[in-house]
Amino acid sequence: MTRVFSIISWSLIGFGSALVLVLAGAYLYLNPQIPDTRSFSQVTLKAPLRIYSDDGLLMQEFGERLTPLQYEEIPPLFKRAILDTEDKRFFEHSGIDLITLVNATWQLVLNRGTIRTGASTITMQLVKNISGETQVHFLRKFKEMLLALKIERELTKEEILTLYLNIIPFGKHAFGIQAAANTYYGKDVNELSLAQMAMLAGVPQAPEAGNPINGPQRAINRRNLVLHRMLEQNSISQPAYTKAVNAPITAQVHDRQIEL
């Protein structure tokens, strides 16, 4: 028994030492490549090209749909929908959620390379969306972590969440929650019902395949997951949950509001 314990102990020590060396090497390799995080706070949001008549009426609009909001303009309930689903410890961690990271690593071992729950925080997702990198490999993920830590030191939580909610894709050429509300419901985000907010909060995981137009059943499943997470975190009441989870899909594509 003592021999088995000794073998296990030395194996864990060896694994831990190897992991430290790998992480140290990755840090030394990637650190010079980490950009100045001030560029993230000054990111230029992709405004559409708008053509107006001589009397100021909108004639045509090209490009992505995007309408940036300030932190105070974002409904608290929508913030809760996103945070309860994507990063419930957002205001507690420093860019990396160690609890979620350990859980995802454990799943990786148990499920032979498959992770069923993500380990990316809102800050890490922000890095991914701004950088545009899509390749899934260790170095990219580690680089995301380093950048997330730097961003958290230089931006407030409110600035990070606002930037994230203004740039994430929702499909149908809509970026940010205001553009998504306009695109799918023809409303401002403050006018949405709980069911509609939860529907939109579930879309960024798969913006094209999982939006309520292209994938209605998938969108309903995600909406109900969002509502369940909100109920778990006491962000909504049981009656509100029951009403929203049984609400039908009311989304449809609303064309851009051309005035002429």
pLDDT in tens, 136-176: 555 677 788 888 998 999 899 999 999 999 999 999 989 99
On whether both 218 and 155 belong to a single domain, the answer is no
The SS3 assignment for 190 reads helix
pLDDT above 60 for 39: no
Per DSSP bridges, beta strands 49-52 and 58-62 are antiparallel
The answer to the question of residue 45 being in a domain is no
The answer to the question of residue 67 being in a domain is no
Count of structural domains, the chain: 3
On whether both 179 and 145 belong to a single domain, the answer is no
On whether both 150 and 199 belong to a single domain, the answer is no
Q: What is the pTM of this model?
A: 0.76
pLDDT above 80 for 46: no
On whether both 196 and 248 belong to a single domain, the answer is yes
Under the banding of pLDDT at 50, 70 and 90, the label for residue 99 is confident
Burial of 171 (0-12, 13-18, 19+ CB in 10 A): buried
pLDDT (0 to 100) of residue 141: 77
Write down the mean pLDDT value for the chain.
79
What's 188's domain CATH number? 1.10.3810.10
On whether both 161 and 196 belong to a single domain, the answer is no
On whether both 159 and 180 belong to a single domain, the answer is no
Query: Alpha-carbon distance 137 to 47, whole Å?
Result: 31
On whether both 103 and 158 belong to a single domain, the answer is yes
On whether both 127 and 176 belong to a single domain, the answer is no
The answer to the question of residue 69 being in a domain is no
pLDDT above 60 for 45: no
Of 167, 199, 214, which residue constitutes the final position of a domain?
Answer: 167
On whether both 187 and 161 belong to a single domain, the answer is no
Domain that residue 127 falls in: 90-167
Residue found by looking up tokens 């809760």 in the block: 80
On whether both 187 and 247 belong to a single domain, the answer is yes
The answer to the question of residue 183 being in a domain is yes
Of 144, 167, 190, which residue constitutes the final position of a domain?
Answer: 167
Judge whether 189 and 74 are in contact, CB under 8 Å. Answer: yes
pLDDT above 50 for 18: no
pLDDT (0 to 100) of residue 235: 98
Average pLDDT (11-23) is: 43
pLDDT (0 to 100) of residue 142: 77
